[in-house]
């Protein structure tokens, strides 16, 4: 653990943009990607709302997981200015969260439908680690490979796994992230649980911290981050977004889908994350919350933040970008961590869309409707998942050699 770890590349594709800067500019301006979803088994057309990715280039027979992940990975590698011809591939890790298999695709594909002489392995559609393996093969990443399943905390924990692999000297670089499509099986399950939001205007359905919230909205997309040992990044003069200064994982052994209303585990998670980062409660200026828009999550998260930060909670900016991008489930942590890094780079805390009538129990500064320009040094990403998986990561804005210039909407994305 003798070297620091930094983020040198970001790739992203979401419902509001097919690349990093387009997505970020849409989030900054409070643009929603939520729309009505059709063609889902067991759910009548028009009843399901989702933040779907539009115009995704796909090959015949391919699931959406693969092109989402590959596009984000290619952008992250390009953004980091890595020359894969000169990298030690044995020291390049791949840490990509798993996903639910494409069961309808498997059921719908029959041998007689395939061209003569072709063979489509079943595992390309079913195995949860198939996308992780595909990305690692595509870029010849021969370092440690991780595929950690932790529900909606998977993307955050995948990043922490890569971070620790670099600290443990197992590798110098890592491609870390996650991907998510709106799969019929997932949609049907959440629909039957009655946890999905409804609204006549899809863009107003997801309302984190609002008294009129009714549930979450599913989203899809992917985000990939290039994590790198600081000395390695400096040697190749790589541009740097932020430094990962600490992170922790805890389990709320309470209920599979229910949350502990006392927020004791979340309090301990935030507190221990600050301690391992060498920070105090007043050092974190922005928190990208899990913020699902469910009554249980939003109140519990507010209580946990207040318990951990004390009086400093009154001055911290908190927002939920799920209000615009939907809940990307496995990919939520990665996408939201990428947005947190961009918020640090540009000194801008993104808004919580649709927060027109704040719940009195959610009494933090949740940046309703409009974001805030504010140069801050530290930011935290929180993830709270089914099964009791809790994770947090703290980032520090990078200044000095390799500092990224703030991006403005009129500039052309790299």
**171 classed as catalytic:** no
Catalytic site residue from 132, 147, 152, 171: 152
Domain-wise residue ranges, the chain: 5-107+122-397
Residue ranges of the chain whose pLDDT lies below 70: 1-2, 60-61, 101-126, 253-262, 408-414
Catalytic site residue from 99, 232, 290, 389: 290
H or E element that contains 163 = helix 154-167
Q: Tell me, letter by letter, the H, E, C secondary structure of 320-374.
A: CCHHHHCECHHHHHHHHHHHHHHHHHHCEECCECCCCCECCCCCCECCECCCEEC
Structure tokens at 348: 């801008």
Cα–Cα dist 313/396, whole Å:
19
What would the CATH number be for the domain defined by 5-107+122-397? 3.40.47.10
> pLDDT tens digit string along 273-300?
999 999 999 999 999 999 999 988 999 9
Q: What secondary structure letter does DSSP report for 162?
A: H
Cα–Cα dist 404/341, whole Å:
11
Which of 191, 218, 202 has the alpha carbon at shortest distance from 331?
218
Catalytic site residue from 132, 147, 171, 327: 327
Strand pairing class (92-96; 145-146)? parallel
**Core vs surface per residue 361-374: b (16+ CB within 10 A) or e:** ebebebbbeebbee
**290 classed as catalytic:** yes
> pLDDT tens digit string along 2-52?
589 999 999 999 999 999 999 999 999 999 999 999 888 778 887 899 999
The residue with tokens 């000297």 is 169
At 402 the pLDDT is: 85
Beta strands in 202-260 (DSSP E): 218-219, 221-229, 242-251
Structure tokens at 288: 């990208």
At 192 the pLDDT is: 83
At 113 the pLDDT is: 57
At 412 the pLDDT is: 45
At 264 the pLDDT is: 87
pTM score: 0.92
The SS3 assignment for 348 reads: strand
């Amino acid at each position: 653990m003798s070297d620091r770890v930094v983020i040198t590349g970001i790739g992203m594709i979401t419902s509001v943009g097919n690349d990093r800067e387009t997505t970020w500019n849409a989030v900054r301006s409070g643009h929603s990607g939520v729309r009505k979803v059709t063609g889902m088994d067991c759910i009548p057309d028009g009843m399901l709302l989702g933040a779907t990715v539009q115009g995704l280039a796909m090959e015949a027979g391919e699931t959406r997981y693969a092109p989402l992940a590959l596009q984000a990975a290619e952008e992250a590698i390009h953004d980091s200015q890595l020359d894969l011809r000169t990298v030690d591939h044995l020291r390049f890790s791949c840490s990509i969260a798993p996903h639910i298999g494409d069961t309808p695709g498997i059921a719908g594909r029959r041998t007689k439908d395939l061209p003569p002489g072709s063979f489509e392995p079943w595992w390309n559609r079913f195995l949860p680690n198939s996308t992780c393996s595909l990305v690692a093969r595509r870029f010849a990443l021969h370092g440690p490979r991780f595929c950690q399943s932790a529900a909606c905390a998977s993307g955050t924990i995948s990043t922490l796994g890569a971070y620790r692999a670099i600290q443990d000297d197992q590798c110098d670089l890592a491609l870390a992230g996650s991907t998510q499509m709106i799969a019929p099986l997932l949609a049907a399950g959440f629909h039957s649980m009655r946890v999905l939001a409804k609204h006549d205007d899809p863009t107003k359905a997801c309302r984190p911290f609002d008294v009129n919230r009714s549930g979450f909205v599913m989203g899809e997309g992917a985000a990939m981050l290039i994590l790198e040992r600081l000395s390695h990044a400096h040697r190749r003069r790589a541009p740097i977004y932020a430094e990962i200064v600490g992170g922790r994982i805890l389990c709320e052994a309470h209920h599979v889908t229910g949350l502990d209303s006392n927020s004791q585990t979340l309090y301990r998670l935030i507190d221990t994350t600050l301690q391992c980062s060498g920070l105090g409660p007043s050092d974190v200026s922005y928190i990208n919350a899990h913020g699902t828009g469910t009554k249980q999550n939003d109140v519990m998260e507010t209580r946990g933040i207040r318990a951990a930060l004390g009086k400093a909670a009154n001055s911290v900016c908190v927002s939920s970008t799920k209000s615009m991008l939907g809940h990307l489930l496995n990919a939520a942590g990665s996408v939201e961590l990428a947005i947190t890094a961009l918020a640090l780079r540009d000194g801008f805390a993104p808004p919580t869309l649709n927060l027109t009538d704040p719940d009195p129990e959610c009494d933090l500064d949740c940046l309703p409707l409009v974001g805030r320009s504010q140069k801050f040094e530290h930011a935290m990403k929180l993830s709270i998942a089914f099964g009791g998986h809790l994770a947090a990561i703290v980032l520090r804005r990078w200044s000095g050699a390799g500092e990224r210039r703030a991006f403005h909407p009129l500039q052309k994305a790299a």
